[in-house]
Amino acid sequence: MLCLALSLWSLLEEPRPQRPAVAECFVLESPERACLGWARFLEREIAGGRALEVEWIFLRPGDSPWQVRHVEELSPRAPRLVWREHSGLSGRTLLLDRPLGSGDWTLESMDREGRDRRQLSTAGGAQFPLALLDLCRRGELAAAHVRVFEPLEAALAERTVSTRLRLAQPDKRVVVWQRPDGTPSAHWCFEGRSLSAFRLGPGLSARRMAAEEWRQATQAALTLPVDASGR
């Protein structure tokens, strides 16, 4: 009887309110400071864990913007990555998950040409990219050699993680991801746990912008009519 009463009480309790989603907005720029697009990083609670997300919008002269939505559901039982990219009628979707009872990942790729499904061996360990970034953000990974899933390549890639500290500003640090050939694939600049700026490869940098500025800029870009002549 006591167990039944406790069960009924738990059903009557108000659900714990979820923490509002945390958003970080950026404008993407070329080395000449030309606008290339925008990015927005989000963190929100989901049932049994957290979801990390990034939205990318890349401008393309004379064509509709290229949009990417990258979501990682970090549930202890069934972590899952979803990558969707599209522009006009072109697009691709990647689904990456770890089936229960399996140490490997299952990757499913879908586009207009069909569907492909294969296994990725994670022997020795591997990370989702946003999950790896989250470890760096929290200061739980300052230096390591890791394998991380690269959605653009649809494959696991080797990366070396290192951290540069600023002695005069101990709250600020730069985390670098390097490829096996020594070239940097990404620089992530943190102030505490907040991502303040980043750079991907040699040609794309990002600086922080206000959420309302991001909303107005992306809304204008996505509703702007496309001129086939490129003007």
User: To the nearest whole percent, how much of the chain has pLDDT over 70?
Assistant: 87
Per-residue pLDDT of 142-178, as tens digits, reads: 999 999 999 999 999 999 999 999 778 888 999 999 9
Instruction: Tell me what the mean pLDDT of segment 106-134 comes to.
Output: 94
pTM assigned to the model:
0.86
Q: Which domain holds residue 44?
A: 22-221
Do the domain assignments include residue 14? Answer: no
Q: Per-residue confidence at 12, pLDDT binned at 50, 70, 90? A: very low
* Residue 197 maps to a domain: yes
User: Would residue 12 count as lying in a domain?
Assistant: no
Q: Is residue 3 part of a domain?
A: no
Residue range 183-196, pLDDT digits in tens:
999 999 999 999 99
State how many domains the chain has: 1
Residue-averaged pLDDT of the chain: 88
For residue 178, being part of any structural domain is answered with: yes
Query: Is residue 83 one of the residues assigned to a domain?
Result: yes
The reply to whether 39 falls in a domain is: yes
Distance, in Å, from the CA atom of 41 to the CA atom of 95, rounded to the nearest integer, reads 19
Residue 112, domain member (yes or no): yes
